[in-house]
Every structure is written in structure tokens, then in C-alpha cells.
Amino acid sequence: MAVERTLSIIKPDATRRNLTGKINACLEDAGLRIVAQKRILLTRERAEGFYAVHKERPFFDDLCDFMSSGPVVVQVLEGGDAIARNRQVMGATNPEEADEGTIRKRFAENIEANSVHGSDSPENAAFEIAYFFDDGEIVG
Ligand code: CMP
């Protein structure tokens, strides 16, 4: 089991409801270590850059509005198979399809306001971590 790092975001719907601690407990209980974390307000432009891969999708504009509508907590998670492990603990993108006990099943409001984001591949994890963190800000 390779030790990996992945980028996680606690989204505005969750920070608004003061769920950062509960979500962090889910991540830690799943064996993930939070090795960097900061609470920031994304500008619309920074949200667009982060989600550039989705720019042709019909939900892109709404998604960027939502992601810049309130504070987010960006974090680097470390652990064995961290990318897959985080996606497992997050649950399906659409909370209606998420397994019981997952973060999105427990906390998400809908498919857009789905409480958390997690990188979906090693390549995207590298891009997404570098989008928010310098090497010196990550302490494993
Ligand atoms: P996330 O894992 O951050 O990746 C892209 C985001 O777009 C997704 O979570 C949702 O917040 C949002 N989104 C909104 N509508 C859709 C949709 N129909 N399919 C996928 N993602 C969507």
C-alpha cells in the first residue's frame, strides 16, 4: 500500500454549517492524516482555475459561484492509498447515491453542495495540492 497525498476541500455548504471538525474526524477515523490545512475564501477566478477541467460542463458556472460563496478549508491528506481511501470516505458525488456512513451521505445538501472535494488521480492530486500549497506548508 503506497503512501500518497491527496487534496481535500471542505466546501462552503459545510463550513457554513460549522461541520469542519466533524468532517475532519471522519477523515482521521478513516486513517488519513491532515498534513496541511487552511481556511480561505476562493475568488471566482481561483475557483474557475481549480475546476478548469470541468469548464465545458453545464454545471461549471454554478459550481464556481458556489465554491466562491463562502469559506472553504483546503487540506492535504496523507496515508496509505490516500486518494482512493478519501474517495471512499467521501462517498459518491451525488449524495443520493452515496453509501451509508460516508461524509456526503451524512452531510451533503445536494449534488453541487456536496460538502467535500477529493482528488481523483495521482496526476490531479499533484496539480491540486500545488494549486493551494507550497512544499514548506506541508508537514508530514
Ligand atoms: P467535486 O468532487 O468537487 O467535482 C466537481 C463538482 O461539481 C462536484 O464535486 C459537485 O460539487 C459539482 N457538480 C454539480 N453538478 C454536478 C454533476 N451533475 N455531476 C458532477 N458534479 C457536479
Q: Which of 73, 70, 87 is nearest to 125 (CA)?
A: 87
Which atom from ligand 1 is nearest to the alpha carbon of 113?
A: 11
Provide the pLDDT confidence category of residue 3 given band limits of 50, 70 and 90.
very high
Segments of 21-88 assigned E as strands: 33-40, 72-80
pLDDT of residue 126: 98
Reported as a single tens digit per residue, the pLDDT across 29-71 is 999 999 999 999 999 999 999 999 999 999 999 999 999 999 9
pLDDT recorded at residue 51? 98
C-alpha 81 – ligand 1 centre gap (Å): 23
Active site residues: 117
Query: In whole angstroms, how far apart are CA 82 and each of 61, 64, 88?
Result: 29, 26, 10
For the record, the C-alpha cell of 137 comes out as: 506548508
Phi, psi of 124 (to 5 degrees): -70, -35
The closest of 73, 96, 58, 56 to 11, measured between CA atoms, is 73
58: number of Cβ within 10 Å: 8
User: According to the model, what pLDDT value does residue 1 have?
Assistant: 84
Which H or E run contains 3? strand 3-10
Mean pLDDT of the chain: 98
pLDDT in tens, 75-111: 999 999 999 999 999 999 999 999 999 999 999 999 9
Q: In whole angstroms, give the CA distance from residue 58 to residue 84.
A: 26
Ligand 1 mean position, distance from CA 100 (Å)? 19
Q: Give the closest residue to 4 by CA, choosing from 98, 82, 113, 73.
A: 82
